[in-house]
Structure 1
Amino acid sequence: MRQVLLLNATYEPLTTLSMHRAIVLVLREKADIIHRDGRGGVLRSATRTLDIPSVIRLRRYVRIPYRSRIPLTRAALMRRDDFRCAYCGQRAETIDHVIPRSKGGPHTWENCVASCMPCNHRKADKLLEEIGWQLRVLPVVPRGPHWRLIGAQLDGDPQWAPYLEESAA
């Protein structure tokens, strides 16, 4: 389903949501369309015509509690590692703990990496030193305002770029 970028009243990006939910917010006058979909789509009813949105902005400011640490989720970890295996560089499908949990490794950003199935199975519950492997890139906590977007799929519409860049400044 097509995604729409939701901005706060201050033009700060909040999240992405389905087109259906975005249309409901616009029709209930809780949000305004800031940028129309580039394909020029239009929704029609018996009494109204509405452009399909790409970006909408809330009419009232919504306070979002500050998160001191970005939550570790599978989607965020895969995005951080660009869907590439930390060991061989192939397309990653799983998550691996560098120091296995069976050996006391924590479930943190600094200990988790994206991994392909073959590397994950070969490594199993061994330490990297035991098998002579090295990480291609050290795992770190992601930084920047765009990582704080709640549940957002930022690889969506290229028309969102100006709104996401403003938040990074």
Structure 2
Amino acid sequence: MPHVLVLNASYEPLGVVPLRRALVLVLENKAICLEESGAFMHSETVTVPAPSVVRLKRFVRVPYRGPVPLTRRALFARDGGRCMYCGGVATSVDHVIPRSRGGQHAWDNVVASCRRCNHTKADRHLVEIGWRLRHKPAPPTGLAWRIIGTGHRDPRWLPYLQPYGAEDAMARIDGISA
């Protein structure tokens, strides 16, 4: 089922909801459709264009959400779906400082890697095998990462996410699907 970007009344991205939930918001006059997906939803008497982006009519106060959660999908988005050791297609997650040697499961210690590099590195430090990371791992920043990290995306969302750091994130995700 397609997903829809929900914006606050101030155009701040709030999250991604299923199409059905977005239609309920629009039909109950709680949200305005800003972008249509091109598809139509049919009932017995009404045909409604399916939204891609909706904006709430009333401002919703959102409490502080903290850092972006570390998920496999968000990690692959941050690293562009590429192995941080060799640049190949990433298929697994690796801890730079192995957990068996005291490494933490945190953004600055976890990278995407291909199976071969992950197996070769095993539980050793990079210095021991003479490897270097292509980029220093760091937590992603910006509201756009909360949306993009879900894995749902639509090119029509980009203009609404650009002020929140989406250009780099969307480019990285497009690199994954290529």
Q: Which TM-score bucket, shorter chain as reference?
A: 0.7 to 0.9
Partner of 1:125: 123
- Equivalent positions of 1:21-60 (< 5 A) are 21-37=21-37, 40-60=38-58
Query: Could you say if the C-alpha distance between residues 164 and 81 of structure 1 is closer, same or farther in structure 2, counting changes exceeding 3 Å?
Result: same
**Structure holding more helix per residue:** 2
Partner of 1:19: 19
Partner of 1:73: 71
Query: Could you say if the C-alpha distance between residues 77 and 126 of structure 1 is closer, same or farther in structure 2, counting changes exceeding 3 Å?
Result: same
The Cα of 1:28 is off from its aligned counterpart by 2.9
State the SS of the aligned residue for 1:23. helix
- Equivalent positions of 1:147-166 (< 5 A) are 147-149=145-147, 152-153=150-151, 156-166=153-163
Unmatched tracts of structure 1, length 5 or more: none
Measure, in 2, the Cα distance between the counterparts of 1:94 and 1:88: 13
Equivalenced residues, count: 166
> Alignment identity in percent?
54
State the SS of the aligned residue for 1:52. strand
Query: Could you say if the C-alpha distance between residues 150 and 138 of structure 1 is closer, same or farther in structure 2, counting changes exceeding 3 Å?
Result: closer
Alignment TM-score, normalising by the size of structure 1: 0.88
* Structure 2 residue identity aligned to 1:116: C
- Please, which of 106, 114, 117 is the counterpart of residue 116 of structure 1? 114
Alignment TM-score, normalising by the size of structure 2: 0.84
Q: Which runs of 4+ in 1 moved over 3 A?
A: 148-154, 166-169
Measure, in 1, the Cα distance between the counterparts of 2:144 and 2:88: 26
Measure, in 2, the Cα distance between the counterparts of 1:76 and 1:64: 21
The Cα of 1:146 is off from its aligned counterpart by 1.3
- Please, which of 90, 98, 101 is the counterpart of residue 100 of structure 1? 98
Contact 1:15 1:150 in 2 (8 A): no
The Cα of 1:168 is off from its aligned counterpart by 4.5
Contact 1:16 1:151 in 2 (8 A): no
Measure, in 2, the Cα distance between the counterparts of 1:9 and 1:153: 24
Alpha-carbon RMSD across the aligned residues, in angstroms, is 2.0
Q: Can you list the C-alpha shifts for 1:27-76, whole angstroms capped at 9, x where unaligned?
A: 23332211112xx3222222322111111112222222223422211111
* Structure 2 residue identity aligned to 1:35: E
The Cα of 1:150 is off from its aligned counterpart by 8.3
* Structure 2 residue identity aligned to 1:147: W
Partner of 2:3: 3
Measure, in 1, the Cα distance between the counterparts of 2:18 and 2:4: 6
Query: Could you say if the C-alpha distance between residues 163 and 138 of structure 1 is closer, same or farther in structure 2, counting changes exceeding 3 Å?
Result: same
